[in-house]
Amino acid sequence: MKVVIIGGVAGGASCAARLRRLDENAEIVMVERGPYVSYANCGLPYHVGGIIADEASLLIASPQLFRDQFAIEVRTNTEAVAIDAKAKTVCLRDVTTGTTKLESYDKLVLSPGAVSIKPPIPGIDHPSIFHVRTVPDARAIRAWMTSNPKGKRAVVIGGGFIGLEMVENLVHRGFDVTLLELADQVLAPLDVEQSRVVEDVLRRHGVALALGEAVSGFVHQASGEIDVLTKAGTTYTANIVILALGVRPDTELAKSAGLKLGERGGIRVDEQMRTSDHDIYAVGDAVEVHDMVTGADTLLALAGPANRQGRIAADAIKGRPSRFRGVQGTAIIGLFGTTVAWTGASEKTLRRLGREDFEKIYLYPNHHARYYPGAKTISMKLIFAKSDGRILGAQAYGEEGVDRRIDVIATLIQKGGTVYDLEEAELCYAPQYGSAKDAANFAGMIAANVLRNDMPIAHWSTDHGSLLLDVRESAEIEAYAVSNATHIPLKQLRARLSELPQDREIAVICRSGQRAYLATRILLQNGFSAKTLSGGVLAVQKKT
Amino acid sequence: MKVVIIGGVAGGASCAARLRRLDENAEIVMVERGPYVSYANCGLPYHVGGIIADEASLLIASPQLFRDQFAIEVRTNTEAVAIDAKAKTVCLRDVTTGTTKLESYDKLVLSPGAVSIKPPIPGIDHPSIFHVRTVPDARAIRAWMTSNPKGKRAVVIGGGFIGLEMVENLVHRGFDVTLLELADQVLAPLDVEQSRVVEDVLRRHGVALALGEAVSGFVHQASGEIDVLTKAGTTYTANIVILALGVRPDTELAKSAGLKLGERGGIRVDEQMRTSDHDIYAVGDAVEVHDMVTGADTLLALAGPANRQGRIAADAIKGRPSRFRGVQGTAIIGLFGTTVAWTGASEKTLRRLGREDFEKIYLYPNHHARYYPGAKTISMKLIFAKSDGRILGAQAYGEEGVDRRIDVIATLIQKGGTVYDLEEAELCYAPQYGSAKDAANFAGMIAANVLRNDMPIAHWSTDHGSLLLDVRESAEIEAYAVSNATHIPLKQLRARLSELPQDREIAVICRSGQRAYLATRILLQNGFSAKTLSGGVLAVQKKT
């Protein structure tokens, strides 16, 4: 059996290696249009930033290693230009010489990845305007920096993963950085109130943010500087521009084979990563995947799922029953010491899909016991089904322990777990690592309190018409007052119930929600109509 | 309804607070024999070590706070000395005055905790011999240190959590520390080969270890020094001795009420934390719990489960259907920058219970992408059912990311997850946080490879009669040679198969197991009988 694999990075390389482990006798050819296979594109921003000093460390496995250890024939600088699915051949072009050659296959695996979006904006082609997609891209940026040591003004266009990581790394290298983003928020997978915090982090580190700004053109000055023009009429002048406008599935080759695409524009595959052609599989950023939380088809350009898909395609080719279980969109980014991570569906995705069976909570637990020095706040949003408590998604940020809590929640989502599972999770606890009631447990407990109707909740933005009752201490209110709130400290509440109306809903607020919960319990049991404002003053402050 | 709660730390305090939230009208009396309620006993070693500088930060909630916020009557320095279950009264003794008083109850909750084991060894009562169980204990040790600034030799007796944490904190304060432990390993929940690493960490930090040593007596010298005598005839001289011999459930009071105890000596309770008396509940370190992995009854003196039990007892008293799902024994300890954590069943527990349906693997993945600076090895052991792949337990240690991976595995164990789930887990990945194939995924993949029979494995200690084939490079073998091994580097293996015997089992070894897996695949597909030595040279080195 002869298997040709187009694309030698995450999905393709995983598929090739797995296939060899399953079949010593298969003929395996892996084709890569760039000069390198199996390189760490997730590390490129950090190589530009100098944190990963040595380019060679980005090259995880060389063509030589594939030959020596896996007996896989690797052809770099080779582009697949057309597929004849009927003849079962693929036309390969040597990028260096331009010569083409037909390669036959029994099974073909497409792992072409995604291509950087590059809109036809006037002036976009210029030696000081860069993408960050490949090792040569990173090398070019580093070369530019060496040649232009005085050029310290950068404009990054696009506030996704790569854009933000580039922002951090450019700041790290002493650049003044402006970030332009078309949307009104950075990090599109986040709900907007969560993205606000990320934007604050960026501003605190001197990054100029221009949200809702569309680039209309690039004007090249004689000095070498670039004027970045926006549709709103603003001009940002830079020495260097980084384009990080996102990616789209590379489906040119798939189209040449007549393969079906999905509604989101990716290659359509089944659970075994097989395309609409029986002998062609596709994996990685180019394919459309199933979101296991929402059930919707989606695109997700991340290395973890790509690797899994590569393995599954190899299994399928060898007749094994492995199936791709879909994605849940777990992701993480580090920015200036703050970690932002999420998993599952966002509130806005659920709203976009017309889902109504969900509730959300905000909480601000410590990453480890408060009594042990160095406790940091984890700011969490948990989204769960009202009907049965199934966890739908979570978003969190903080300085420590964010990855761990999101991973716990991701694992529960994978297993169809509920907020009741989360409140009971038995997690690692010693004072320097967590709390007897871990941050993750707190999220589960609060959500379960809501679902058991022990704690009806309200959200700041949807709070209308209620009496707002602030149960914090006077000193706290002096430090930060919530406007239009009645003030009764929790400890006086039982004695002062007569001051509150029985005929009006009371929305209780405190610092983070814990005392408001107690107050809500007192009020409910005394015949009042009461709700807890989820996340308290902390949530209000983050949103405004 | 009047509820009396005996014990005001983790389980009791959680129960009291939850009960008030559920019932504004209940009369709740919480009794604590010591001077403080709701204090952080997990922090005591770090207070002794000076890391938690202020004693007050250990006091999480004061009696005043319980009165003000929860309308709970707290009686500190008050000991419950007897229960009359028929009359539904408990006899309370004021520790200061010695006066007693009968308190009636409708429901009684016992959260007496566990008592430090203090065997009747000659000379054990001495002002320089301490326990570390309460805030006054820690205060006494600190006072001793102030009074004896030149006394810098310490003997810690007992190598469990508290013993080891005290060792670290004493070293931190400049002590020469000797650790005596009766068993032949520290940290009894760990399998012995994993505990060896902990012992190495201790030795590297100057701790003298005496394993398998039973203390026979304490001789007090006129100088104030203490000679610690062992049955083996050795004498260890110390200025201060810390007793950390473990704890046993405090069941005196339960016995006075005629409550049933379990086989392990804890108070027997049902899933709602109810004892053999209909109106008496028990929670925390004093109760016997169900191990959800093994099904066996067990004792587990940890704060997390105690808190959960307290909440469930309150629910049960209020007629709610909450049930305690049992424990899985998730635990963590930090020692000199190394984190050691585990969850689920150990191999030795499974063997003790006569279980045969399990397999184990060893692996040594990086805590984040190798190409990003600062990657640290996580050393993992995963134990899983051979029959269906269910995860039974895991033990891990390393400098970074250990808590996170054990928490992921703990969450899967909670949900009955398998190694197939673990290999597919979609976890947080960016280069500074993890790998596209996370350390946890690797554990799942390797285990799944074993169960799918793609990678038959052998373990070093059980490896007899096979031909040992080392597939590492020559330079690696020069650095560390495995005795009696045949050497063929992986990349030459396909060409040199004729050098290997077809009629003898071949056990393949490399550094960590990855190349051995490839070699095993090559050999199996060429008709050889081959196995991979799990964990490779790294596992061999850790075990010897």
The mean pLDDT of chain A is 95
Out of A325, A454, A494, the one facing B71 most closely (by C-beta) is A494
Rounded to whole angstroms, the Cα distance separating B376 from B369 reads 9
Q: Which residues of B touch A403 (CB under 8 A)?
A: 404, 428, 433-434
Q: Which of A245, A274, A309 is the last residue of a domain?
A: A245
Q: Identify the pLDDT of residue A462.
A: 60
ipTM attached to this prediction: 0.96
Find which of B62, B411, B515, B518 to mutate to test the A interface (most A CBs within 10 Å of its CB).
B411
Tell whether B118 is within 8 A of chain A (Cβ): no
Same domain, B269 and B163: no
Residue A264 lies in a domain: yes
Same domain, B240 and B252: no
Out of B60, B334, B433, the one facing A433 most closely (by C-beta) is B334
Residue B350 lies in a domain: yes
Listed range (A436-445, A463-472, B92-101, B176-185) with the worst mean pLDDT:
A463-472
Residue A203 lies in a domain: yes
Question: With an 8 Å Cβ cutoff, are A436 and B10 in contact?
Answer: yes
Same domain, A142 and A87: no
Residue A372 lies in a domain: yes
Same domain, B344 and B432: yes
Q: Which residues of B touch A49 (CB under 8 A)?
A: none
**Dihedral (CA of A37, A42, A48, A52) sign:** negative
Question: With an 8 Å Cβ cutoff, are A434 and B60 in contact?
Answer: no
Could you write out the three-class secondary structure of B89-116?
EEEEEECCCCCEEEEECCEEEECCCEEE
Token reading at B461:
């200690």
Kind plus residue range of the DSSP H or E element containing A115: strand A114-116
Residue A485 lies in a domain: yes
A54, A17, A334, A368: which is closest to B429 by C-alpha?
A334
Residue A323 lies in a domain: no
Residue B328 lies in a domain: no
Same domain, A304 and A399: no
Kind plus residue range of the DSSP H or E element containing A383: strand A378-384
Look up tokens 């009791």; give the residue: B12
**Dihedral (CA of A41, A44, A46, A52) sign:** positive
Could you write out the three-class secondary structure of B487-539?
ECCHHHHHHHHHHCCCCCCEEEECCCCHHHHHHHHHHHHCCCCEEEECCHHHH
Q: How far is A445 from chain B (nearest CA, A)?
A: 10
Tell whether B308 is within 8 A of chain A (Cβ): yes
A256, A216, A261: which is closest to A236 by C-alpha?
A216
Average pLDDT of the residues in A510-524: 97
- Given a contact cutoff of 8 angstroms between Cβ atoms, the answer to whether A409 and A458 are in contact is no
Rounded to whole angstroms, the Cα distance separating B474 from B467 reads 19
Q: How far is A21 from chain B (nearest CA, A)?
A: 6
Question: With an 8 Å Cβ cutoff, are A525 and B426 in contact?
Answer: no
List residues of B with catalytic annotation. Answer: 42
Token reading at B361:
């693997």
Out of B161, B330, B412, the one facing A428 most closely (by C-beta) is B330
B238 DSSP β-pair partners: B226
**Dihedral (CA of B44, B50, B51, B57) sign:** positive
Q: Residue B519 is part of a domain; what is its CATH number?
A: 3.40.250.10
Question: With an 8 Å Cβ cutoff, are B21 and A517 in contact?
Answer: yes
Q: How far is A398 from chain B (nearest CA, A)?
A: 14
Alpha-helical (H) ranges within A213-281 are 252-256
Token reading at A526:
């005394």
Residue A36 lies in a domain: yes
Q: Which of A423, A451, A479 is the last residue of a domain?
A: A451
- Given a contact cutoff of 8 angstroms between Cβ atoms, the answer to whether B164 and B203 are in contact is no
Find which of B371, B418, B420 to mutate to test the A interface (most A CBs within 10 Å of its CB).
B371
Same domain, B82 and B186: no
Per the structure, the complete domain to which residue B397 belongs is given by 337-451
Instruction: State which residue of chain B sits closest to A49, comparing Cα positions.
Output: B372
Same domain, B160 and B268: no
Same domain, B367 and B312: no
Q: How far is A243 from chain B (nearest CA, A)?
A: 20
Question: With an 8 Å Cβ cutoff, are A341 and B46 in contact?
Answer: no
In tens digits, chain B (544 residues) has pLDDT values of: 999 999 999 899 999 999 999 999 999 999 999 999 988 989 999 999 999 999 999 998 899 999 999 999 999 999 999 999 999 999 999 999 999 999 999 999 999 999 999 999 999 999 999 999 999 999 999 999 999 999 999 999 999 999 999 999 999 999 999 999 999 999 999 999 999 999 999 999 999 999 999 999 999 999 999 999 999 999 999 999 999 999 999 999 999 899 999 999 999 999 999 999 999 999 999 999 999 999 999 999 888 999 999 999 999 999 999 999 999 999 999 999 999 999 999 999 999 999 999 999 999 999 999 999 999 999 999 999 999 999 999 999 999 999 999 999 999 999 999 999 999 999 999 999 999 999 999 999 999 999 999 999 999 876 568 999 999 999 999 999 998 899 999 999 999 999 999 999 999 999 999 999 999 999 999 999 999 999 999 998 876 4
Instruction: State which residue of chain B sits closest to A53, comparing Cα positions.
Output: B373
Question: With an 8 Å Cβ cutoff, are B404 and A407 in contact?
Answer: yes
A400, A432, A439: which is closest to B46 by C-alpha?
A432
> Count of domains in chain A?
4
Look up tokens 């005496």; give the residue: B210
Q: Which of B196, B230, B245 is the last residue of a domain?
A: B245
Question: With an 8 Å Cβ cutoff, are A411 and B434 in contact?
Answer: no
Q: Residue A230 is part of a domain; what is its CATH number?
A: 3.50.50.60
Token reading at A536:
């308290």
Q: How far is B47 from chain A (nearest CA, A)?
A: 9
A19, A250, A215, A208: which is closest to A116 by C-alpha?
A250
Contacts of A376 by beta carbon, 8 Å cutoff, 6+ apart: A366, A367, A398, A399, A400, A401
List residues of A with catalytic annotation. Answer: 42
Question: With an 8 Å Cβ cutoff, are A414 and B426 in contact?
Answer: yes
Alpha-helical (H) ranges within A78-155 are 135-147
Same domain, A235 and A280: no
Same domain, B216 and B254: no
Question: With an 8 Å Cβ cutoff, are A373 and B68 in contact?
Answer: no
Instruction: State which residue of chain B sits closest to A59, comparing Cα positions.
Output: B371
Same domain, B166 and B230: yes
* DSSP letters for B326-392: -B---EEEEETTEEEEEEE--HHHHHHTT--S-EEEEE--BSS-TTSTT--BEEEEEEE-TTT-BEE
Rounded to whole angstroms, the Cα distance separating B387 from B393 reads 15
Question: With an 8 Å Cβ cutoff, are A525 and B23 in contact?
Answer: yes
Rounded to whole angstroms, the Cα distance separating A368 from A434 reads 4
Same domain, B238 and B252: no
